[in-house]
Amino acid sequence: MMVVLDDTIAAVATPLFPAGIGVIRISGPEAIKIANTVFTGKKQVLECETYTALHGYIKNPETVETLDEAVCLVMKGPASYTGEDVVELSLHGSPLVLRKTLEMIIRLGARQAEAGEFTYRAYLNGKLSLTEAEAIHKLVKARSESGLRNAFLQMQGSLRRNILELRTKIQEVLSNFEAEIEFPAEELNFLSKEDGLKHIKHITTACSKMIETYQLGKQLEEGVKIVICGPPNSGKSTLLNRLLKDDRAIVHEIPGTTRDKVEGTLSINGAVIKIIDTAGIRQTENAVEKIGIAKTIEAIKKSNVIIWLESYDTKSSFKENELKSQVISKSVKKHSITVMNKIDLLDKNERKTLQKKLKSEIDIFISAKKGWGVKRIYMAIEEVVGALQSHSIEGTIITSLRQEQLLKECRKALNRAENGLKIGVSLEYICQDVNEGIEALNQLIGIKPRKDIYDLVFKHFCIGK
Ligand SMILES: Nc1nc2c(ncn2[C@@H]2O[C@H](COP(=O)(O)OP(=O)(O)OP(=O)(O)O)[C@@H](O)[C@H]2O)c(=O)[nH]1
Ligand SMILES: [Mg+2]
């Protein structure tokens, strides 16, 4: 996108559907003049002090027709969101009136803002860093409280601070190496090879830790995915309905009822949880069921937590036990909760014997039909989510693919430097690698950013942001 900062942009900043109020934002050198023409209050907009709100009316300057009652807020640059003169007109939220008013503003010389252009200008004018801009986008889009909290932390600059710290550490290593190249004969106290290696290792570990938080950030934002899987007829759909308190999935005594994935959303402690019911896993010749099972395996791969549900009456054949261990072993890095269902079919003594026998294999015994033990499943989910959330409180979490890729670039460059040091490559080459690491971090926080940064970061914003 071409950046012409001497033009004035405008957009409706609130969603275009009937609402209490709707806001039109104008930014640029002509913002105040244009607002003065469309808005008539007790005072001229031109005479307003910065950060004052005026009550008045939106009028068509050509026909003098009054369109709406409004409040006009004037914020003069540089102390405004974009750093330029900004006017926000709050109207009643009629989409038609908002659109007509915006059209007038555009006829008076403003240009329709592109998506994210206000924030892009704020960034170009040094009002916020790249990572803070990304955080604003996340904040507007956040669907869960944890996602919101993380976006807010990032907006306040915590990610930027962490990256800057990391960058300082790399720069220290670099300047040591450079000094050694410059003054090879001097008996100065440069970083020894061992210490250099130690520092680099430290930095790559920090990069890795941040990279790991990407998945976590995504989970908190999009929702933690929990898949219910297990043999056919074990009561998976019954459990889904029970957890959602809704008749979402078809329950039937015929094994192989569920073919497509059935999903529902829960909110536990402010986190969004997506629960997915899947086709029962077994060896089958039925073509449709086979597709269903393939979908189950796919869902397991994409999930964060699996609930393996079996029931004491679905006598697992040898093959199915094998399938179970395959599923569980595929999920070693995930949280898995193993559950035994239909204990209502047993009497008290049988139940006790079964629980004793399967103590090491099964985490929770339930009856999905009667609702017994289901609270313990909620508790287990709560525990997993709590663990995820505590991470987000402890440290900053990266939330965009762009951030993840640049951290990986940094780590890769430093790994090269590390290997080079180990095998005695000359320091000039090592410095090149270290420099590349620094460059990746520069890109991340927007120091000397690439030309396509608008496409990478701002394009995804909504218009008016
Ligand atoms: N007695 C008893 N029956 C249950 C329980 N849970 C489910 N059932 C019954 O078991 C049968 C299968 O239940 P579903 O929920 O459809 O099982 P599923 O695992 O989704 O089965 P598929 O979709 O075929 O893989 C139905 O007749 C349910 O009513 C339970 O806790 N106790
Ligand atoms: Mg089912």
Closest ligand to 254 CA?
1
Closest ligand to 247 CA?
1
Please give the average per-residue pLDDT across 140-160, as a whole number: 68
How much is the pLDDT for 370?
A: 95
**Closest residue to atom 9 of ligand 1, CA basis:** 235
Q: Which domain-ending residue is among 339, 368, 397? A: 368
The whole-angstrom separation of Cα 174 and Cα 435 is 7
The whole-angstrom separation of Cα 152 and Cα 147 is 9
Domain count, the chain: 2
Higher-pLDDT residue of 133 and 415 is: 415
Ligand 1: atom nearest CA of 366 is: 31
Summarised one tens digit per residue, pLDDT across range 400-422 is 888 899 999 999 999 999 999 99
Q: How big is the CA angle at 154 (ends 153 and 158), to the nearest 5 degrees?
A: 85
How much is the pLDDT for 460?
A: 66
**Is residue 75 domain-resident?**
yes
The whole-angstrom separation of Cα 204 and Cα 197 is 11
Residues 121 and 13 in one domain: yes
How much is the pLDDT for 449?
A: 54
Residues 19 and 121 in one domain: yes
How much is the pLDDT for 409?
A: 96
The CATH number of the domain where 279 resides is what?
3.40.50.300
Could you list the residue range(s) of the whole structural domain that residue 325 is in? Answer: 223-368
Instruction: Give the pLDDT band of residue 2 (cuts 50, 70, 90).
Output: very low
Q: Are 273 and 145 in contact (CB under 8 A)?
A: no
Place of tokens 């959330």: 389
Residues 227 and 360 in one domain: yes
**Is residue 417 domain-resident?**
no
* Among 194, 203, 142, 214, CA closest to 405: 214
Q: Are 251 and 236 in contact (CB under 8 A)?
A: no
Backbone angles phi, psi at 78, to 5 degrees: -85, -5
The dihedral sign for the CA sequence 284, 285, 286, 292: positive
Ligand 1: atom nearest CA of 280 is: 25
Instruction: Give the pLDDT band of residue 214 (cuts 50, 70, 90).
Output: confident
DSSP line for 263-277: EEEEEETTEEEEEEE
Give the chain's mean pLDDT: 84
* Among 273, 282, 283, CA closest to 307: 273
The whole-angstrom separation of Cα 168 and Cα 174 is 10
**Is residue 165 domain-resident?**
no
Summarised one tens digit per residue, pLDDT across range 77-94 is 899 999 999 999 999 988
Q: Which domain-ending residue is among 112, 129, 146? A: 129
**Is residue 102 domain-resident?**
yes
Q: Which domain-ending residue is among 129, 163, 186? A: 129
Cα 223 to chain centroid, rounded: 9
Residues whose beta carbon lies within 6 Å of some atom of ligand 1: 232-238, 251-253, 255-258, 279-280, 341-342, 344-345, 367-369
Residue 88, CA distances (Å) to 13, 31, 39, 266 in order: 9, 9, 11, 37
